[in-house]
Amino acid sequence: MLSISHRGTIMPASPIRKLVPYAEAAKNKGIKIYHLNIGQPDIETPKKILDAARNSDFKILEYSHSAGNESYRRKLVEYYQSVNININYRDIIITTGGSEAILFGFLSCLDAGDEVIIPEPFYANYNGFAVAADVVVKPITAHIENSFALPPMEEFEKVITEKTKAIVICNPNNPTGYLYSKEEMEVLKKIVLKHNLYLFSDEAYREFCYEGTHFSAMQLNGVADNVVMMDTISKRYSACGARIGALVTKNKKVTETALKFAQARLSPPTFGQIVGEAAIDLPSDYFKETKAEYKKRRDLIVKRLNNMPGVFCPQPGGAFYAMASLPIDDADIFCQWLLESFNYNNETVMLAPATGFYGTEELGKKEVRLAYVLNCDDINKAMDCLQKALEAYSKRNAI
Amino acid sequence: MLSISHRGTIMPASPIRKLVPYAEAAKNKGIKIYHLNIGQPDIETPKKILDAARNSDFKILEYSHSAGNESYRRKLVEYYQSVNININYRDIIITTGGSEAILFGFLSCLDAGDEVIIPEPFYANYNGFAVAADVVVKPITAHIENSFALPPMEEFEKVITEKTKAIVICNPNNPTGYLYSKEEMEVLKKIVLKHNLYLFSDEAYREFCYEGTHFSAMQLNGVADNVVMMDTISKRYSACGARIGALVTKNKKVTETALKFAQARLSPPTFGQIVGEAAIDLPSDYFKETKAEYKKRRDLIVKRLNNMPGVFCPQPGGAFYAMASLPIDDADIFCQWLLESFNYNNETVMLAPATGFYGTEELGKKEVRLAYVLNCDDINKAMDCLQKALEAYSKRNAI
C-alpha cells in the first residue's frame, strides 16, 4: 500500500476549522452564527490599499524578486522606523503571509529533532510548521489566573536541553491577548543569551496594544543575531487574503539562508505586495481608529464575560483575542454543542476551544478563545447567546 | 555561536539567479542583455484575467478556504475536463504557486530520508523542496543525444531501494522541453505499480506542446492512488506573480493530508485566485495563439543554435525551453563570461548553465538552457550575440 508520511499522519488538523462542518449544518438549519472563532477581522481593508492593487497597470503579472520587491522592502524600513525598529531593507524577506516567515525561520535555523520552547497556550499553527520542519515543540505553561504572563526563567530552564535551539513567542499574544512587558522581554533576552538560542518573535498584532506600548524583540540590545521576527500585514490592515508577511532579522546568515528557501518558491504574490506597499502610506490615524474600535470591543467582551456566573476572562493587553474559562468540563464538546444543539432566538455563537492552543494534553479543557472581530452590537448578541447557552448547558448536565 | 540548520546550509542557492549580480553589473555598464535565462514569459497576461482582479469589489481582503475558493476549484474541474482529465473539485487543493504543490506533495507522502527518483536534468528547485522536506533526490540521467527521452525502466530499477517512495517528472519538461509520449508514461505506470511508488507529475507546461498531444499522468488507468499532479497557472497564462497552483490527486488520503498542511498556512492568495478563476473562461483560441507564437520561437531558436559550429540542440516537443550543448568546457564560466567580459554592439545574452539542473556532479558542463521567452526579433539578436560570443570565446581559449 502507498503510505502517507509519518509527518503527514501526525500533522494536526486546524483545531479552529474542525468545527466548520457543524457550523455549516447549523446554517443550513437557518441558524445565525456569531463567529468569534477565527481571527478574520470584520474591519474593512482600507480602500486606498485595495485600490493600489486595483489601479495597477502592469501588463504582465511577473515574478517579483524572491525576497520581495525592493521598493516594498525599502518602504517597510520606514514603517519599522515609525515603531522604533531600526533595520536595513536587506534585513527583510517578504514572505507569503506570516505563515511562510515562520516556516522559513524554522527551516533556516532548525534541523529535524531540534526543540523549540513555546509558552502555551500558543497559536495552533506553530504545531503545523513544527511538524512540517520535523521540529519538536516543548510547551511551558502560562496560566489564566496570571493573565497568561510569561512563565518565569526557571520554567524555561527546566525544559532546555542540548537540542533546544529556539524560543517562539507571539507578542501581543494569540490566543491570549497578553502583551509582554519590557521586563519580560529582558528575561527572554537573558535566556537566549545564556543558552545560545534563537528568539522567534511573531509580532502580527504589534499595532493592537491597549495598555502600555509594544516592546519588540527587535528593540532588545545585544541579541541582534538571536532575534528573528515574523511579521504580517494580515491583521494590521485587515488584509489576510493578500498573503503578505515578512521575516526580519539582523542575522545575515539567517537572511541569506532564508533567501535560498525563498528562491525555491520563486516569489511572494504580486498583488499582495502592492497592497502591502500602499499600506505604508496610510494616514497615521489609521491605527488610532482601528485600535479604538478594537479596544471598545475588548472592554465590552471582557465585561460581559466576567459578568457571567463561573466565567473568568483576564484583561487582554493587545491583539483581538480574549481567553475565558467557562463553567464547563470540555470546551470541545461545549463548542460543538453550541452549534449542534443550541440556539437562542435562532442564533448561536461559534468559539474556539482552547485545547488546540495547548501543547500539553488535557490543558485548556475549560477554556475558549474569543476573537472580537465583530462590532459591539453583534458582540452583545453573541454574549447573550453564550450566557443563555451556559445556563442551558448547566441544566442539561444536571439532568 | 548560533548556527544555521544543516538543511539551510546544504540548501542550494538558485542556479539561475546566481548570475544576477553579473547581469546587474553589465547593465550598469550600459550593456543590453537578452534574458534567455529564466522562464518569465514576455507574453502579456490576458487583460481579461487581470481585469477580473482589478474589477473585484470586495471590501475585506479575507482569508479564503484553505483548499482555495470552492467556486475556483469547481471551475478548474471544467478546465481539466477540457484537457481530458476527469476529476472532482474535492481532488483539487489550490496552492500558492506550483511550488507549494510540490512542497505539500513531498511533505504529505515522504518522510525525512525517503528517496525520490528524478530524471535529470530536472527543474532545479526540486532540490530545494527536497532539502526543505529532508528528502533525498536520486537522479537518473536522460541524455541530450537522445533528446532527453525518459531513461529506460532498468535505469529506474537500478536506483530503487526500500527507501524509494516516488518518481518526479515534469511533462513537458523544464529544462529540456522534452514531451513524454503515452508509451513512456505507460512505462512509468509499470514502475510505480511494480514498486509501489508515488508518481509526482509536474504539468506546468501542459498547454505548450508542439508535436503530438500531451498525455497527462492523470490519464493513466489503474494508478489513481499513485499519481499526484502538480499544476500552476504561472506559465499557462503568463501569470507567474499570481502565485496560484494546484495539487491534484484522486488519492483521498493525500488530499486530506495536504489539506492539513494547507490549513497551517491558512489560505492561498485571494487576488491570484480571482485571476485563476477568470482564466478558465478565456476564449478557446487563447492557447492556440500563444502556442503558435512559442512554436515560431522554438523553430527559430533551434535552427539558429544548430547552425552554429559545434552546437547541438535537440528539438523540444513542448514547454518554452531548449537545451543546447556548446563547444565550451564549463557552462558556468561561459555564462558568467558572457555577462562580465563580452558584448556585441553593446549587447549580450544571459543563459542558464545546465549544471544546476543535474543532480549528478560534473554533468551538463557543456550545456545551457535557453528559455524562449523573447520575441523572434530579440531571439535573432540574442543568437547573433551567442554566435559571436562562441567565436570570441574559442579564440580567447586558443590564446
For residue range B95-132, list pLDDT tens digits in order: 999 999 999 999 999 999 999 999 999 999 999 999 99
Residue B102 distance to chain A (closest CA, Å): 10
Residues B67-87 pLDDT 10s = 999 999 999 999 999 999 999
From the candidate CATH numbers 3.90.1150.10, 3.40.50.300, 3.40.605.10, 1.10.10.10, the one assigned to the domain spanning A6-44+287-398: 3.90.1150.10
- How far separated are the first and last CA of chain B, in Å rounded? 49
Work out the average pLDDT over A30-46.
95
The pairing of beta strand A245-248 with beta strand A227-232:
antiparallel
Q: What is the DSSP letter of B138?
A: E
Which residues 99-128 of chain B have a CB within 8 Å of chain A? 99-100, 103, 107-112, 114, 125, 127-128
- Residues B349-382: b if buried by 16+ CB within 10 A, e if exposed: bbbbbbbbbbbeeebbbbbbbbbbbbeeebbebb
The sign of the CA dihedral A369, A373, A379, A385 is negative
Q: Residue B269: pLDDT above 60?
A: yes
| Per-residue pLDDT, A397 | 62
* pLDDT over 90 percentage in chain B: 94
CB contact under 8 A, B257 and A8: yes
| B212 touches B179 (CB < 8 A) | yes
Using an 8 Å CB-CB cutoff, list chain B residues near A42.
60
| Per-residue pLDDT, A64 | 94
| A262 touches A93 (CB < 8 A) | yes
A99: which residues sit within 8 A by CB, 6+ positions away? A125, A129, A232, A245, B264, B265, B266
| A93 touches A256 (CB < 8 A) | no
- Between CA B93 and CA B99, with CA B97 as vertex, the angle to 5 degrees is 95
Count helices and strands in chain B by DSSP H and E runs: 13, 12
Using an 8 Å CB-CB cutoff, list chain B residues near A43.
60
Work out the average pLDDT over A22-26.
95
- The pTM assigned to this predicted structure is 0.96
Q: Residue A396: pLDDT above 90?
A: no
Q: Chain B residue closest to A1 (CA)?
A: B196
Q: Is A178 helix (H, G, I), strand (E, B) or coil?
A: coil
| B205 touches B319 (CB < 8 A) | yes
Work out the average pLDDT over A336-356.
97
HSE-CB for B356 with a 13 A CA cutoff: 28
Residue that the C-alpha cell 499557462 belongs to: B236
Q: Where in chain A is the domain with CATH 3.90.1150.10?
A: 6-44+287-398
Using an 8 Å CB-CB cutoff, list chain A residues near B17.
66, 263
Whole-angstrom CA distances from A173 to A37, A128, A179, A209, A232 are 16, 18, 6, 10, 14
CB contact under 8 A, B238 and A6: no
Residues A137-194 pLDDT 10s = 999 999 999 999 999 999 999 999 999 999 999 999 999 999 999 999 999 999 999 9
Residue B397's pLDDT band (boundaries 50, 70, 90)?
low
The pairing of beta strand A92-95 with beta strand A164-170:
unpaired
| B196 touches A1 (CB < 8 A) | yes
Chain B interface includes A202 (CB < 8 A): no
The Cα A164–Cα B111 span in angstroms is 22
CB contact under 8 A, A243 and B55: no
The Cα A203–Cα A368 span in angstroms is 22
The Cα A108–Cα B83 span in angstroms is 40
The Cα B292–Cα B283 span in angstroms is 15
Choose the closest CB to A198 out of B2, B13, B62.
Answer: B2
Q: Residue B299: pLDDT above 60?
A: yes
DSSP for A235-269 reads TTTT-GGG--EEEE-S-HHHHHHHHHHHHHT----
| B191 touches B169 (CB < 8 A) | no
Helices (H), chain A: 6-10, 20-28, 47-54, 70-82, 97-109, 125-132, 153-159, 182-195, 252-264, 270-279, 285-306, 331-340, 376-398
Q: Dihedral (C-alpha) A102, A108, A113, A117: value to the nearest 10 degrees? A: -50
Q: Where in chain A is the domain with CATH 3.40.640.10?
A: 47-279
DSSP for A319-387 reads TTEEEEE-S-S-HHHHHHHHHHT--BTTEEEE-EEGGGG-SSTTTTTTEEEEE--S-HHHHHHHHHHHH
| B72 touches B281 (CB < 8 A) | no
Chain B interface includes A162 (CB < 8 A): no
Chain A interface includes B13 (CB < 8 A): yes
| B78 touches B280 (CB < 8 A) | yes
Q: Is B122 helix (H, G, I), strand (E, B) or coil?
A: coil
Angle between helices A376-398 and A331-340 (to 10 degrees): 110
Q: Residue B398: pLDDT above 90?
A: no
The Cα A68–Cα A59 span in angstroms is 19
Residue A290 distance to chain B (closest CA, Å): 14
Residue that the C-alpha cell 474591519 belongs to: A43
The Cα B197–Cα A187 span in angstroms is 50
Q: Residue A279: pLDDT above 80?
A: yes
HSE-CB for B335 with a 13 A CA cutoff: 29
Residue B51 distance to chain A (closest CA, Å): 8
Residues B228-240 pLDDT 10s = 999 999 999 999 9
CB contact under 8 A, A66 and B17: yes
| B130 touches B106 (CB < 8 A) | yes
Residue A61 distance to chain B (closest CA, Å): 5
Q: What is the DSSP letter of B365?
A: T
ipTM field:
0.95
CB contact under 8 A, A241 and B63: yes
| B3 touches A253 (CB < 8 A) | no
Burial class (CB in 10 A: 0-12, 13-18, 19+), A17: buried
| Per-residue pLDDT, A398 | 61
| Per-residue pLDDT, B20 | 87
| Per-residue pLDDT, B53 | 98
Work out the average pLDDT over A345-363.
96
Q: Dihedral (C-alpha) B207, B210, B212, B213: value to the nearest 10 degrees? A: 0
A132: which residues sit within 8 A by CB, 6+ positions away? A7, A11, A103, A106, B107, B261, B264
> What is the dotted CATH code of the domain comprising B47-279?
3.40.640.10
Cell digits for B212? 503530438
**Second-level CATH architecture of B6-44+285-398:** Alpha-Beta Complex (3.90)
HSE-CB for A331 with a 13 A CA cutoff: 26
